[in-house]
Amino acid sequence: MTSVLSIRNLRFSRGHGFRLDLPSLDVRPGERVLLAGPSGCGKSTLLWLVAGLLQAEAGEILVAGDRIDAMRESDRDRVRARRIGLVFQTHQLLPAFTAEENVSLALLAADEPERLHASRARELLAALGVNRPDAPIAELSVGQQQRVAVARAVACRPALVLADEPTASLDPDHAGATMKLLEDACRNTGAALLCASHDPAMQARFERVVPVASLVTRRDAA
């Protein structure tokens, strides 16, 4: 089966002696993979490299067949909008915009036909239990904002969803509910899920757990 994410001989370094060397990593379509490890070990860095938000020094990163590491910034933006969904710990939604508008903006960035934006956004929000699509984000509860963030991430039916510590600030009950929401959304759209977390309790939820320490070399602290 063709990998939705394929990494070969990836290298990245920054100040304070941090160096990431990743010989290989593959994620299959629809697979759920957890990058596990303590805070500061390089999990988020790896996700940002995959998303094209950081530039690798060497190696190859292919997302749905597109070599994102070798592209110009404008082309990386296009691939990210169409092929990659992003879920952050802090959501990064636009507070003055409505739930529907936040999801519609993701569809706009991916060049989806404008006539489909409203119906697609409302369909996703309803499926994820957002019952006030016309409410500004600032008026929604944290739980409802999480649902909007998930809807935005899968709106364009991405091949790969990247989740960076999505439950770090949540208690165990809310963390479990958030992960189920994210897993179900990925399953329904056929997206693979690559998630980074320092929480050992997360490991039981994933088909494959990859300890970041086994993939990277580090000199001193990140």
Q: What is the pLDDT of residues 82-131, one digit of tens each?
A: 999 999 877 789 999 999 999 999 999 888 888 889 999 999 999 888 99
Report which of residues 131 and 213 the model is more confident about.
131
Which CATH number fits the domain that encloses residue 124? 3.40.50.300
Instruction: Give Cα separations from 60 to 9, 10, 50, 67, 70 (angstroms).
Output: 7, 6, 10, 7, 8
Asked whether residue 114 is domain-assigned, the answer is yes
Q: Is the pLDDT of residue 219 over 70?
A: no
Residue type at 138?
A
Asked whether residue 67 is domain-assigned, the answer is no
Per-chain mean pLDDT for the chain: 89
What phi and psi values does residue 177 have, to the nearest 5 degrees? -65, -40
Long-range CB contacts (within 8 A, 24+) of 126-132: 127/188, 128/181, 128/185, 130/99, 132/99
Predicted TM-score (pTM) of the model is 0.89
Asked whether residue 85 is domain-assigned, the answer is yes
Asked whether residue 7 is domain-assigned, the answer is no
- Lowest-pLDDT choice from 45-49, 83-87, 177-181: 177-181
**How many helices (H) and strands (E) in the chain?**
6, 9
Q: Is the pLDDT of residue 48 over 90?
A: yes
Asked whether residue 81 is domain-assigned, the answer is yes
Asked whether residue 11 is domain-assigned, the answer is no
Asked whether residue 125 is domain-assigned, the answer is yes
Helix, strand, coil % over all residues of the chain, rounded to 5: 40, 25, 35
How many structural domains comprise the chain? 1
How many angstroms separate the CA atoms of 177 and 127, rounded?
A: 15
For the residues 171-176, what does the mean pLDDT come to? 79
Asked whether residue 16 is domain-assigned, the answer is no
Q: Which domain holds residue 163?
A: 31-55+73-211
User: Is residue 56 classed exposed, middle or buried when 0-12, 13-18 and 19+ CB atoms within 10 A define those classes?
Assistant: buried
